[in-house]
């Protein structure tokens, strides 16, 4: 399937034990989503999962116009793998790269609005942050922090990498991983 020259948005998230790659069209329609359970193997699997997502979308790297990195919070090494891969791909393809906190995708996939979002930490407990998400973009309300108990009413931890890609297309945000 030919998606045109440099129009696809690719998101890579390695901040949790599940590695995710999502691809969306310029209008925000999901073209592909690929995942791998990789609690300790993100660096070995990230390019394999990217290749699988591109194959599912019926395209190649030559159609990619923007790379988005999931910024976490998450494990130090896992978060760096995704950020470094996104930055390297963007440089090699000569396309822009943006970052989106992974918790923003959790809020967006839970229906948007302003709410707490959670992701599990690698050693037990939860990362919690409060974000506001609407069709125009997103903003941080309360910075992510680590807590032991799951907050009542929090969204998560489910999200799609394609949601990160859509969010990355809305606003320019630097690739600065969130470590906690």
Return the domain boundaries, the chain: 8-169
Q: So what's the pLDDT on residue 4?
A: 53
Domain over 8-169 is classified CATH 3.30.470.20 = no
Count of Cβ atoms closer than 10 Å to residue 137 Cβ: 13
Q: So what's the pLDDT on residue 151?
A: 85
pLDDT digits (tens, 9 = 90+) for 43-82: 999 999 999 999 999 999 999 999 999 999 998 898 999 9
Dihedral sign from CA coordinates of 82, 70, 60, 18:
positive
d(CA 131, CA 154): 11
Q: So what's the pLDDT on residue 180?
A: 58
Q: So what's the pLDDT on residue 34?
A: 98
Q: 38: Cβ–Cβ under 8 A, 6 or more apart, which residues?
A: 14, 17, 18, 19, 44, 45
Greatest Cα pair distance in the chain: 47
pTM, 2 dp = 0.92
Q: So what's the pLDDT on residue 41?
A: 87
Identify the segments of the chain with pLDDT beneath 70.
1-4, 179-180
Q: So what's the pLDDT on residue 50?
A: 98
């Amino acid at each position: 399937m030919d998606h045109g020259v440099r129009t696809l948005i690719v998101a890579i998230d390695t901040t949790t034990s599940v590695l995710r790659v999502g691809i969306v069209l310029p209008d925000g329609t999901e073209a592909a989503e690929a995942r791998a359970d990789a609690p300790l193997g993100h660096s070995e699997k990230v390019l394999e999962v990217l290749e699988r997502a591109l194959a599912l979308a019926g395209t190649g790297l030559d159609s990619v116009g923007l790379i988005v990195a999931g910024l976490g919070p998450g494990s130090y090494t896992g978060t760096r793998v995704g950020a470094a891969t996104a930055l390297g791909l963007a440089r090699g393809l000569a396309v822009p790269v943006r970052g989106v906190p992974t918790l923003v995708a959790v809020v967006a996939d839970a229906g948007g609005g302003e709410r707490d979002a959670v992701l599990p930490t690698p050693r037990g407990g939860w990362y919690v942050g409060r974000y506001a998400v609407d069709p125009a973009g997103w903003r941080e309300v309360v910075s992510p922090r680590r807590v032991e108990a799951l907050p009542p009413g929090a969204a998560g931890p489910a999200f799609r990498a394609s949601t990160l890609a859509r969010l990355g297309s809305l606003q320019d945000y630097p690739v600065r991983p969130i470590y906690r």
